[in-house]
Structure 1
Amino acid sequence: MTEDEPHSAAYRLALFDRDFLLSPAMRGVRLQVEFTKADDILRSAGIRSTIVVFGSSRLREDGPGRQAHWYAEARRFGRITSERGGALHPVAGARDHVIATGGGPGIMEAANRGAHDAGAPSIGFNIRLPHEQVPNRYTTPDFTFQFHYFALRKMHLAIRARALVVFPGGFGTLDELFELLTLRQSQRLGHVPIVLVDEAYWRRIVNWDALAEDGMIDPGELDLLRFVEDAEAAWAALDIRPPR
């Protein structure tokens, strides 16, 4: 091979070989890199703990029926949590109880917006989808992430969570809710309160009592859930005190 001849793919530096990095053989490395990037940024910024908010991406501030109410309460919850939970005021370089969402529209936007109203940072863990999800404009730019792997996104939603507050939603919301419920049930997650907003909605779409009655869960495991009606009650159910 002369200097004028093109080099083969084998000669490329591995670090800059896009085809190699995106190959099936490198999937494990991509998983590690995707986890580490967000983890390093949040650690460097002193984000020690989060309050995670789930809910439908389809809800709108001016939507029909109960949509506007749920949006308003999620926004109010984001503001209340940011003002009272410590996200506004780092202690010894650490910031606690920062609002974290999936970063998209609907309830996610509302919760991030509430934190923005309070002047506090908030996190958006976006996911790459076939129809691209655009980050909502209220997440803090430095804490707005994009994931390819759902598993890594879920891990980041869980590892710093000190509470989970779930507003009405569909398949995605149920998926995330049951993921964290299972972690609590199996004692793989610490004492993380799981609060469902709008009891009538949640009891209408899931027969929680039937799970216990038919022996699918222990009756005491229903205590993993708390039902509330609004943002103020959701905050009270978390029983969180700002760090000192």
Structure 2
Amino acid sequence: MQRRTQDECILESPVAEGEPFVDSDPWRVFRIMGEFVEGFDTLAGLGAAISIFGSARTLPDDPNYHAAVETARLLAESGLTVITGGGPGIMEAGNRGAQPEEGGSVGLGIELPFEQGVNEYVDIGIEFRYFFVRKMNFVKYSQGFVIFPGGFGTLDELFESLTLIQTGKIRQFPVVLYNSGYWRGLLDWLRGTMLAAGNISAPDLELMRLADSPEEVHELILQGLSKQASWCEKSAEAARAATRLALEVSG
């Protein structure tokens, strides 16, 4: 029998009267708060980072695994920290490629019904109980996402980032899909069904870039980070100008 996770518990109905307080939703709020504090405290000094996502089922002899190792190596050599979900498959490959760089390999693990733990190539690891806390840390401490072939979890992380970009919660955030042959069917569906129905706009499809080599991923990420830095600089200058104007008006 699979053990219950904290995510499963929080999604259930409230506990019955007379159950221990530590199993109640109010107590669970403190656990959630503690996870946020642990994540923010551990990752506060991380510096520029890129998250790599993909299937936990990808084996070490798979071409996608080798590509993820090389992609992570190139990113780490450029001074970028690599963040993954800390598990096997593509996550392991990302950590493996980044680990030779000191402090360049981060794994944000998640409690699952079956024991897993972080892989051996993680330098900085955190084990989360709650998916939504983990997601927040991925987005907060990443300057871009690289998405390798994967399943539901990978799609969840992809569409989470696209939604945040589309709604302006994050800006100039590069999202690169590796292996165009794998993703082409999804992009064709988005264009032929979602876009055709008017449920997304044409610019929404430009939020993702396709790549078929680690070198291409690396170049697209660096281009995205350059645009991100330029936007941040312009935003900071606009904020300074607004402050100067406010001071002049008040003076």
Given the two structures, how large is their TM-score scaled by the length of structure 1? 0.79
Instruction: Provide the residue aligned with 2:212 in structure 1.
Output: 229
Cα distance in 2, alignment partners of residues 61 and 205 from structure 1: 25
Cα distance in 1, alignment partners of residues 127 and 102 from structure 2: 23
- Tell me if structure 2 keeps the 8 A contact 1:82–1:120: no
Quote the offset at 1:226 in angstroms: 0.2
CA offsets, 1:161-206, max 9 Å, x none? Answer: 1110000000110011111111011111121100000111101245
Tell me whether 1:72 sits opposite 2:53 in the alignment. no
Cα distance in 1, alignment partners of residues 220 and 195 from structure 2: 23
Instruction: Provide the residue aligned with 1:124 in structure 2.
Output: 107
- Tell me if structure 1 keeps the 8 A contact 2:128–2:134: yes
Cα distance in 2, alignment partners of residues 175 and 41 from structure 1: 24
| Counterpart pick for 1:199 among 180, 186, 208 | 180
| Counterpart pick for 1:185 among 162, 166, 172 | 166
The structure whose RCO (Cα within 8 Å, separation 6+) is larger is 1
Quote the offset at 1:23 in angstroms: 2.9
Quote the offset at 1:21 in angstroms: 4.1
What letter corresponds to residue 154 of structure 2 in structure 1?
A: T
Q: Is the partner of 2:144 in helix, strand or coil?
A: strand
Cα distance in 2, alignment partners of residues 197 and 42 from structure 1: 26
Quote the offset at 1:129 in angstroms: 0.4
Instruction: Provide the residue aligned with 1:59 in structure 2.
Output: 58
Pairing of 1:1-244 with structure 2 (within 5 A): 20-43=21-44, 46-62=45-61, 68-84=62-78, 86=79, 97-140=80-123, 143-206=124-187, 207-210=189-192, 211-238=194-221, 239=223, 240=225
Instruction: Provide the residue aligned with 2:249 in structure 1.
Output: none
Cα distance in 2, alignment partners of residues 153 and 176 from structure 1: 11
Given the two structures, how large is their TM-score scaled by the length of structure 2? 0.77
Corresponding residue pairs, total: 204
Where structure 1 has 5 or more consecutive residues not aligned to the other structure, the ranges are: 1-18, 63-67, 87-96
TM-aligned CA distance change 1:120 to 1:47, over 3 Å: closer
CA offsets, 1:115-165, max 9 Å, x none? Answer: 01345521100000001222110010xx20101110000000000211100
Cα distance in 2, alignment partners of residues 170 and 198 from structure 1: 14
Is the helix fraction higher in 1 or 2? 2
- Tell me if structure 2 keeps the 8 A contact 1:57–1:106: yes
TM-aligned CA distance change 1:49 to 1:20, over 3 Å: farther
